[in-house]
């Protein structure tokens, strides 16, 4: 089997050709897919038709799977037969939601507010609206590399505080407030905002919509810096916007990308997607002198 990867744009991403995800895949094929994934940050597969069980089994070839907790105590999140699959959907059956509506309508990387942010995610499109409902991706390697040296010197090795409790209502205004138990289950975590990728060794800018503080910087100054960095990451020269087609599947690397779902008229149209999510490990940054700075808390 010969696999090709055709770049989607200059900033990031490639469309893979020559592989059928629904069929049996050997170790050499998986290794080649992983090589392209690490090179391009996101991989697009077209015309994927598989069972939910096959979706789960394919993703497991890249690492352990994360089962998403409920977001908002009365909102369904996961597939009833395969809890490894998060259902991203505004579809209702008998008047009851079958998945999470308006998930990810803001720039982020999956699990950035957790002790162990998610390594990667694989989203499969089952039903898409006729207009909009796209997803944008940003290359956080490129964003870091484009920073002025003065900004790099200011932030390298610093930790940022990421808070589900402080940012939930701002990021998910359509969901109920977190319960006290939910807040306790997702305590604040400090991550290095310049992050060394454990497989490529490259440095990425790791800061998104759950960041609320930067260590050693006064609050007003820190708030301004967070706003500056989060705006910088998503400049057009670092991004790619994907117009979904039914059957598309995208595998992305949360360690070096951000993404967001673009709003659409979800009162008029239906959008139904299924996502598997890979477990991650402790983020860290290796300084020029070789010092390793890791996340803590949580």
Q: What is the pLDDT of residue 76?
A: 66
Query: In this structure, what is the dihedral angle of CA atoms 144, 146, 151, 152, given to the nearest 10 degrees?
Result: 50
* Residue that wins the pLDDT comparison between 183 and 243: 243
Q: What is the DSSP string of 283-297?
A: -EEE-TT--EEE-EE
Query: For residue 78, what pLDDT band results from cuts at 50, 70 and 90?
Result: confident
Does the CA dihedral 75-77-83-88 come out positive or negative? positive
User: 255 in helix, strand or coil?
Assistant: coil
Distance CA 97, CA 99 (A): 6
Q: Residue 117 pLDDT more than 60?
A: yes
Determine the pLDDT at residue 10: 93
- How does DSSP classify residue 67? P
pLDDT tens readout for residues 92-103: 887 777 777 777
Q: How many domains does the chain have?
A: 1
Find the range with the poorest average confidence among 18-32, 85-99, 202-216, 251-265.
85-99
Burial 12-30 (b: 16+ CB within 10 A, else e): bbbbbeebebeeebeeebe
Q: What is the mean pLDDT of residues 153-157?
A: 94
Count Cα neighbours of 164 within 13 Å in the Cβ-side half-sphere.
24
Contact 157, 194 (CB under 8 A): yes
Q: Which residues, 6 or more positions from 44, have their beta carbon under 8 angstroms from its beta carbon?
A: 8, 13, 14, 15, 16, 242, 248, 249, 250
Check pLDDT > 70 for residue 72: no
In this structure, what are the phi and psi dihedrals at residue 195, rounded to the nearest 5 degrees? -120, 130
Split at pLDDT 50, 70, 90, the class of 232 is very high
Q: Is the pLDDT of residue 65 over 70?
A: yes
Q: State whether residue 89 is helix, strand or coil.
A: strand
The rounded percent of the chain whose pLDDT value lies above 70 is 97
User: In this predicted structure, what is the pLDDT of residue 74?
Assistant: 61
Q: For 208-222, write each residue's pLDDT tens digit.
A: 999 999 999 999 999
Domain at 135, CATH number:
3.60.130.10
What's the length of the chain?
Answer: 298
Structure tokens at 267: 């009162």
Domain span including residue 123: 4-297
Per-residue pLDDT tens digits for 41-56: 999 999 999 999 999 9
Task: Measure the CA–CA gap between 296 and 189, rounded to whole angstroms.
Answer: 6
Structure letter (DSSP) for residue 236: G
Distance, CA of 24 to chain centre: 27
67 contacts 118 by C-beta, under 8 angstroms: no
Q: Is 36 exposed, middle or buried (0-12, 13-18, 19+ CB in 10 A)?
A: middle
Confidence band, pLDDT 50/70/90 cuts, at residue 237: very high
Is the CB of residue 207 less than 8 Å from the CB of residue 138? no
State yes or no: pLDDT of 175 exceeds 80: no
Please give the pLDDT value at position 171: 85
């Amino acid at each position: 089997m010969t696999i090709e990867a055709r770049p989607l744009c200059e900033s990031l991403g490639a469309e893979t050709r020559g592989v059928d995800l629904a069929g049996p895949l050997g170790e050499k094929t998986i290794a080649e897919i992983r090589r392209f994934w690490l090179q391009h940050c996101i991989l697009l597969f077209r015309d994927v038709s598989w069972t939910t069980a096959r979706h789960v089994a394919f993703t497991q070839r890249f690492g352990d799977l994360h089962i998403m907790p409920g977001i908002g105590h009365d909102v369904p999140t996961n597939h009833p037969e395969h809890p490894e699959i998060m259902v991203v959907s505004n579809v209702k059956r008998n008047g009851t939601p079958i998945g999470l509506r308006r998930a990810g309508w803001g720039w982020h990387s999956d699990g950035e507010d957790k002790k162990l942010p998610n390594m990667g995610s694989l989203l499969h499109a089952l039903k898409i609206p006729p207009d909009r409902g796209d997803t944008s991706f940003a290359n956080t390697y490129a964003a870091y590399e484009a920073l002025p040296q003065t900004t790099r010197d200011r932030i390298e090795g610093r930790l940022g505080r990421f808070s589900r409790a402080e940012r939930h209502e701002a990021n998910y205004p359509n969901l109920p407030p977190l319960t006290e138990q939910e807040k306790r289950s997702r305590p604040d975590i400090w991550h290095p905002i310049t992050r060394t990728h454990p497989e490529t060794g490259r440095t990425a800018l790791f800061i998104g919509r759950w960041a609320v503080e930067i260590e050693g910087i006064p609050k007003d100054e820190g708030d301004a810096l967070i706003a500056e960095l989060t705006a910088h990451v998503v400049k057009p020269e670092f991004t790619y916007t994907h117009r979904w087609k039914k059957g598309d599947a995208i595998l992305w690397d949360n360690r070096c990308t951000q993404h967001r779902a673009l709003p659409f008229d979800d009162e008029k149209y239906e959008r139904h997607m299924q996502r598997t999510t890979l477990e991650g490990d402790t983020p860290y940054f290796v300084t020029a002198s070789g010092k390793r700075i890791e996340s803590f808390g949580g």
